[in-house]
Structure 1
């Protein structure tokens, strides 16, 4: 186990007071783990690294980290099971690291609660940027909850046969609740706020992930596929080479295909 408390600094600055941000790194390759710890600590964050799955679950319960950087291939239990157990105990943003650029693995990771993923090898600069984006999203969501508590709750958004309750973060289709991850919910809201309007992958990446680099657009595609698995393939239309549009059940048929 490695714990480092870095000095404040780094490109763009931390999204909260330096000593307040806690990052858990679960990575079994010592060289990679140490490199991640050094780079994230340079942002002023307190970073702890562990090298196996069970230790990761224990550390997450003990530390209550603000974000977790989690490798998929781990000794003991793999990263997917670690993510599942962590999210069941206490929802937390998870950036998953995978050695395989396999979309099936990515969808499984998103399905157990990961918010984003990166394929090895990766740049430390991008790792920092994506970690900051996850932290900003968390703070933005917390502020939204505070505002909702201070104001009268907005009525649920009903579009076709889909009802989205932003205050309670609940989605219902065909009269049944659909369980979405926080990222899936935010993506659905971004699309549903502008029904039948094509939103580019870059715009969705900026609005939902607070991430403006086009290298992350595959993250959007994978999350759209995950949404389709849960809500049905007919709700989100692909406009090839551009992006996606939310199409209510009484809207224009998704004639451009349901594949991302």
Structure 2
């Protein structure tokens, strides 16, 4: 049973989400504000977080940034704000998905399941891609990826990434030199049942370049293939 941390100040919405996800065999823990949510975050070790942006004691964006500094747990933001700028901002600060209110419980459950599925299948996928004779840490010049720890290293220093950023980098890593379209990357990091835009991939790529490239404006590893998408050059 997967553990969901729900941080939502509207009790009626929280109760609907909790009841529906519980019926879908999730263990839901509810925090009515940022303080309660933070306490639960450190005590229950959630598998996924559903986080409202408008909270009575803090901004959900700031809480997302705080969680992201210590964990790569998938985070889905929920908000009545539907502007593209808000969605992009959420992705930039570390969220993995963004759902606008009002939404159907069925869609919420599908998106939650998509995030959890991508997370749970990571170890299975890499076991097929990396043979038993290979080390779990693969070295390509200045960049290293530890698949087991889900961590990227630049010049032996750990680099903090979001769930989606690591998934993109992992996929690049397993297929060096291959050109991926934005749609292919979206399907690989999200699953085809979750709505996201191509702009989301651009945001993740920009963030990755800032973290692993010496000069993000002149990337040596994560390169743009104009009119097609992106590729990774070891």
TM-score (norm 2): 0.76
TM-superposed deviation, 1:152: 4.1
1:1-260 equivalent positions in 2, closer than 5 A? 20-143=1-124, 152-153=134-135, 156=138, 158=140, 163-167=143-147, 169-172=151-154, 178-209=159-190, 211-213=191-193, 215-218=195-198, 219-230=200-211, 231=213, 232-233=216-217, 234=219, 235-237=222-224, 239-240=226-227, 244-246=229-231, 248=233
* Residues in 1 aligned to 2:223 and 2:108: alpha-carbon distance in whole angstroms: 29
Aligned residues: 224
Q: Please identify the structure whose Cα radius of gyration is greater.
A: 1
* Residues in 1 aligned to 2:101 and 2:226: alpha-carbon distance in whole angstroms: 29
TM-superposed deviation, 1:111: 4.3
Q: Does the C-alpha gap of structure 1 residues 142 and 189 become closer, same or farther in structure 2, counting only changes over 3 Å?
A: closer
CA distances 1:126-152 after superposition (whole Å, capped 9, x unpaired): 21111112212222235568898x764
Unmatched 5+ stretches in structure 2:
none
CA distances 1:32-71 after superposition (whole Å, capped 9, x unpaired): 2222222212201122222211111112222222211001
* Residues in 2 aligned to 1:155 and 1:56: alpha-carbon distance in whole angstroms: 34
TM-superposed deviation, 1:207: 1.9
Which secondary structure does the structure 1 equivalent of 2:196 belong to?
A: helix
Q: Does the C-alpha gap of structure 1 residues 36 and 225 become closer, same or farther in structure 2, counting only changes over 3 Å?
A: farther
Q: Does the C-alpha gap of structure 1 residues 107 and 166 become closer, same or farther in structure 2, counting only changes over 3 Å?
A: farther
Unmatched 5+ stretches in structure 1:
1-19, 250-260
TM-superposed deviation, 1:29: 2.4
Higher relative contact order (CA 8 A, sep 6+): 2
TM-superposed deviation, 1:199: 1.7
* Residues in 2 aligned to 1:110 and 1:104: alpha-carbon distance in whole angstroms: 10
Which secondary structure does the structure 2 equivalent of 1:156 belong to?
A: strand
TM-superposed deviation, 1:176: 6.8
* Residues in 2 aligned to 1:125 and 1:170: alpha-carbon distance in whole angstroms: 34
Q: What's the Cα RMSD here?
A: 3.3
* Residues in 2 aligned to 1:166 and 1:97: alpha-carbon distance in whole angstroms: 31
CA distances 1:94-136 after superposition (whole Å, capped 9, x unpaired): 1111333445544443344322222333332221111112212
TM-score (norm 1): 0.70
